[in-house]
Chains A and B, each alone.
Chain A
Amino acid sequence: MLHCRSVLAKGLGELGRERVRARLTAMIRLESVTKTYRGRPALVGISAVVEKGEFVFLTGPSGAGKSTLLRLLYRAEVPDAGRVVVAGQDLSALNRREVAELRRRMGVVFQDFKLLRRRTVGENITFVLDLLGLPEREQQRRAYHALRQVGLQHRLSAFPEELSGGEQQRVAVARALVVQPELILADEPTGNLDPERSHELMAFFREANYRGTTVVVATHDVSLIAAHPARTLVLERGRLVQDQWGSP
């Protein structure tokens, strides 16, 4: 009997430790997440865990719910049901200030770039560094370095509307990378890029991932996943239908 108890306690201890470990290492935890728009389900009962330092593709056809899921992750939306936990924080429970603080620790590459159109490329990059309170000189140095990484250092003083779609995309990537975030969320980041630039961009994400950043890339481009195999979550009509390694 005593032996039984000891085994049970040990087992429960292991289970508890496992749970604590999971809580400590999970960057993203989705628990039965459901989101509907005017009665139309965009996401239905999604549950998944993305560990810290993981590289994950989110794929599926148009309208599968990839962008909605990302919007939930950077708290542009709140779920109708279920929980979204990012970096240990339940996003539904955060106040405005905490949401802003969390977003400062993320780098988000938006599908439509979301560059500040009245600011130059350089100011778009330094804006996020300014929010972090970095000194001006450091901001300039980091902005130049980030733009050089994406090959746009010569467009520092240009305004977004003077750039091509691909160039704007690269500025958005530079803005996301420059803060050295814990988590990168990228929504169709290669949508406006040629194959060479796409692979170059994936190399930036990989590099950030090697440094410990968790990366989630939403894409419908299966060839991109084939060329850069990683854990892949496949969505269809708002449901998570596959969680696998490499392209579906």
Chain B
Amino acid sequence: MRQHLWREVARQLREARGMALVAVLLLAVGGAWAMLAASFLQWGRAGLLRAASQTVVVAVLVEGANPALLQASVASRFPQAKSVALSPRELGQTLAGWAGGAAAEGLLPAAVSVTVPASQAQALGEFLRSQPAVAVVSSSQEWVDPALAGFSLALRLAGLLATILVFAFGALVVLVVRLLVLSHADEIAIMRLIGAHEEDIRAPYLVASTLLGVVGGAAGVGLALLGKFLLDPWVRLPPLPHTYFLLTLLAGGVAGALGAAVGTRSLPQEP
């Protein structure tokens, strides 16, 4: 089946033209989506993690409290901390863009903003809450952690969608192979009668489907690179790792081969 194998593979691909194209597109979109989504989410997560390495804790003071005293006690307890006192005027200026008239001077209290390594954020928060001069304590970790969790969830969902697309490709390959087997049933019977082994009969389907998978994976890599190029003016994504390319090609090949293996189980049997 050496020479005939490749002729037969070409013939299978020719016969499955329309559906094969749909399968390749499905895999290409799935692969590209997986690569871009993973890259985008990792980029966002890295930014968040960078932001999360330093935590900003803001302590809003009770009326009449002296920010300088609080700064001094923070500095003595947390030498690595950098604190900034925000007078009602400065706080008002900071919030003016967001709160407008509500942030007018006189309505706002004084505050102290303290930046510490993330590892000390909890201790600092507890310390500030224990101070009688402090009314409210707020930490940037309160939104960074849920945001990181959200990114992880989004990453899992993107992976799930890509997996569904790869499975859809596999299912389509099963369908294509079954249809081909059905239309070739008479030829398969003849091949057996003249001495073809089962692997001689299955090989062209297996090779053609694996090729479809690899081509779909390669198209996915191309689409991902194009997508990155088009997104570049808005989002500067990191370069796509080569392992993504290899994984996409591998996933395509495996999905194709498995699809064919399942599809050829419908081969007509002999007594």
Contact = CB atoms under 8 A, between A and B. Distances in A.
Interface of A: 74, 76-78, 96-97, 99-104, 106, 108, 110, 114-118, 123, 126-128, 130-131, 133, 136, 139, 175
Interface residues of B, number: 21
Nearest to B183: A118
A131 B190 contact: no
Interface stretch (B3-11, B65-73, B160-168): B3-11
B195 A116 contact: no
Interface in B178-205: 184, 186-187, 190-198, 200
Q: Interface residues of A: mostly helix, strand, loop or mixed?
A: helix
Nearest to B200: A131
Given A76-B193, A76-B270, A126 B187 contact: no
A206 B44 CA distance: 82
A116 B197 contact: no
Contact of A108 (B193, B200, B271): B193
A101 B193 CA distance: 11
B205 to A, nearest CB: 14
A114 B7 CA distance: 20
Given A77-B271, A96-B270, A127 B4 contact: yes
B1 interface: yes
Contact of B194 (A96, A108, A118, A136): A108
Most A CB atoms within 10 A — which of B11, B186, B195? B195
B187 A117 contact: yes
A85 to B, nearest CB: 17
Contacts of B184: 118
A118 to B, nearest CB: 7
Given A76-B193, A131-B195, A126 B4 contact: yes
Contacts of A123: 4, 7
Contacts of A74: 193
Interface string B255-270: 0000000000000001
Given A76-B270, A116-B187, A118-B11, A130 B193 contact: no
21 contacts: A76-B270, A76-B271, A77-B271, A78-B271, A96-B197, A100-B197, A103-B192, A103-B194, A104-B195, A108-B193, A108-B194, A114-B190, A115-B190, A116-B191, A117-B187, A126-B3, A126-B4, A127-B4, A127-B194, A130-B1, A130-B4
